[in-house]
């Protein structure tokens, strides 16, 4: 259980970082920028190649970077997908955001069984390495909870009363 808590904490922090990428540092020298730019372009090309191999989409893909990651973003139908690659162009994490209609039925049924009377409002599905989990937002009246579904278990991650 401690491992689950640590893993889910790390992944929840990843959600926050993925949703708000920062800008790269402007303090590099001109020579450093040129070298950094060349490395970045090689890493981005590697990331794009891996992206095109793994993610088959006809949607427009937007790319951005921060000091730690190269990010790909696209929206296909009602599902928004964000993929992070490390600075060497290796896949690091995928986060898919969608509504209840797109949630895996097994996950949806488990959440509904454990939280009777709650409605599923939105989901962030996170895959990072071997970890694959779901951050499921549920609401009942003014009661809001974010629960995590991981390896068939559900735990409450956050909860509060809506105003």
Domains in the chain, start-ordered, CATH in brackets?
Answer: 2-23+30-161 (3.10.450.360)
The 3-state DSSP class for residue 59 equals coil
Please check the confidence at residue 5 and state whether its pLDDT lies above 50. Answer: no
Q: pLDDT tens for residues 70-115? A: 999 999 999 999 999 998 889 999 999 999 999 999 999 999 999 9
Residue pair 101/112 in contact by the 8 Å Cβ criterion? no
Among candidate residues 21, 40, 20, the one with its CA nearest the CA of residue 89: 40
Length of the chain: 163
Confidence of residue 10 (pLDDT cuts 50, 70, 90): low
CA distance 160 to 163: 9
**Residue 41: what are its φ and ψ, rounded to 5°?**
-60, -40
pLDDT at 37: 65
Report pLDDT digits (tens) over 108-162.
999 999 999 999 999 999 999 999 999 999 999 999 999 999 999 999 999 999 8
CA distance 80 to 37: 28
pTM equals: 0.76
Nearest to 15 by CA among 71, 93, 72, 103: 93
Query: How many helices (H) and strands (E) are present in the chain, helices listed first?
Result: 3, 8
User: In sequence order, what are the beta bridge partners of 61?
Assistant: none
């Amino acid at each position: 259980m401690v491992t689950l808590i640590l893993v889910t904490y790390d992944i929840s922090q990843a959600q926050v970082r993925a949703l708000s990428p920062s800008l790269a540092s402007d303090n590099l020298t001109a020579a450093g920028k040129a070298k950094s730019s060349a490395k970045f372009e090689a890493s981005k090309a590697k990331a794009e190649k891996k992206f095109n191999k793994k993610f088959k989409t006809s949607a427009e893909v937007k790319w951005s970077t921060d000091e730690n990651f190269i990010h790909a973003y696209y929206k296909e139908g009602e599902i928004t997908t964000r993929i992070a690659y490390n600075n060497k162009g290796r896949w690091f994490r995928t986060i898919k955001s969608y509504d209840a209609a797109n949630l895996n039925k097994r996950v949806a049924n488990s959440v509904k069984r454990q939280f009777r009377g709650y409605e599923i409002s939105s989901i962030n599905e996170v895959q990072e390495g071997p970890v694959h989990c779901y951050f499921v937002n549920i609401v009942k009246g003014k009661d809001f909870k974010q629960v995590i579904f991981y390896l068939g278990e559900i735990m409450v991650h956050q909860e509060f009363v809506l105003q």
